[in-house]
Every structure is written in C-alpha cells, then in structure tokens.
C-alpha cells in the first residue's frame, strides 16, 4: 500500500498529515527516505523519526454521539471529541461529520478506503435524521423538503420526508452538505430545535446508549463495503 495510507493505518497521522511527514523527510522505509509515491510491502520496515511503526488491524466503531461533543479527532480548545468518547486503541477517525448540537449515529474507522467511499458524493450513502422543529408542520413544508430546497450553495437533491408528529419530521438524505438538515428546515420556515441522526447506511444506534459505542459486526462491515463497491 502507499506510504501515507500505511502511516494512517498505523495510527501515526491522517493521510494528509502523513504526506507532510513524508515531505519533511521524517519517514524512512528500509532505511531509505520515503517519498509520496513509495509503496510499502509486507516485510518492509517503516520508521518515523527513527521509531518503527506497524500497520494496525482495521477497526470499525459505531458511536451514539451525544450533543455537545465535536466530531473531530482533537480540539485545540480542549472540548470533548468523539474520539475521546470511543477511546479505541486503534487510531479511528470519524467518517463525515455531525455538528456539535446534533446527536446520533456516527461511524469511526481507520479503514481509509471505506471511509473515502462512504463520504464520496458518487455513492450517495443514505443518512436518516429526526428533527424537532419550531411550529406546526404542514404538508406543504414536508413536500418542499422532499422536492428540494434552494440554499445558498444550491438546490438540494430530492429526499424522503415524512411527518412523525406535530413538530417532528424524519428526513432521509443522500447528500452530506454542512448543517444541511438545519438549513433546509429553516429555509421552509421551521427552525430546528433538536436534531438526531437515527441511521447511516445500514447502521442504527437502537442498542447503543447515548455516549456509548460498539464495534461493528462482520455483517455490518461487509454490508458497508458492498454498498460502496469494495
């Protein structure tokens, strides 16, 4: 595998950060300075700043994210992160983002190929949200959300929308724009009071308490990989 991917799998850094380590000459393969196009074979010895590193086993973790936790690996302001909550021995990172106020299903992994495809627009991975909003929803508002809403970054794609209660709705998206559900609801006149992601592809958190996590089953991992053609 390519050197930056190997370093990411070893828990050293993200691929982007690994590229910087390689450019600075801090990474060697079999005693030779690594390059961005260096490939690592099974018996190769990889070192960073003279310390040997090894590839980690793939890990896939489902977190039931609480509100108030940021979706990142670290935070310069010292706020709690989803990686802190999971506390996995492998260097897992979140796949996509949930904003700090949003709770629910979040996948973390060190499987870079899977994470890349799950977040790529080409694959249109399904994400299900339940939103509590201000005011009494109308059929017209639900229809508008389903048809597509004009936002500052363009018209949203058609979605599935249904009313669950007077001020509660379910929205199923295949896009991943920043704060998309909140912006869509506000655009049709119903600001979000609380938001929870209840499903991501084939995953849900029905058996995971808020703030807790669990490893994915083999069937779940295989289902995700099939979904994105791996």
Which residue numbers are catalytic?
99
DSSP states along 67-133:
TT-BSSS--TT---BHHHHH--SS--EESS---TT-EEEEEEES-HHHHHHHHSGGG---EEEEEEE
Residues 90 and 170: their CA atoms lie apart, in Å, by 34
Report which of 111, 103, 17, 97 is spatially closest to residue 61, judged by C-alpha positions. 111
Residues 207 and 221: their CA atoms lie apart, in Å, by 17
């Amino acid at each position: 595998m390519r050197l930056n991917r190997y370093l990411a799998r070893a828990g050293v850094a993200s691929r982007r950060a690994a590229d910087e380590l390689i450019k600075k000459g801090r990474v060697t393969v079999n005693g030779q300075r690594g390059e961005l196009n260096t490939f690592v074979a099974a018996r190769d010895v990889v070192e960073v700043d003279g310390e040997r590193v090894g590839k980690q086993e793939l890990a896939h973790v489902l977190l039931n994210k609480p509100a108030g936790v940021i979706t990142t690996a670290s935070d310069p302001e010292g706020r709690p992160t989803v990686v802190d909550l999971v506390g996995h021995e492998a260097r897992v990172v979140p796949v996509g983002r949930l904003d700090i106020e949003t709770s629910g299903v979040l996948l973390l992994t060190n499987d870079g190929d899977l994470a890349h495809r799950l977040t790529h627009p080409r694959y249109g991975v399904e994400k299900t949200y339940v939103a509590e909003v201000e005011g009494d929803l109308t059929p017209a508002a639900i229809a508008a959300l389903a048809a597509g809403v004009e936002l500052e970054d363009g018209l949203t794609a058609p979605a599935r929308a249904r009313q669950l209660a007077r001020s509660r709705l379910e929205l199923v998206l295949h896009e991943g724009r920043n704060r998309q559900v909140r912006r869509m609801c506000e655009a049709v006149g119903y600001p979000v009071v609380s938001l929870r992601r209840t499903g991501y592809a084939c995953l849900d958190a029905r058996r995971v308490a808020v703030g807790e996590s669990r490893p994915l089953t083999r069937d779940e991992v295989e289902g995700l990989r099939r979904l994105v053609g791996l």
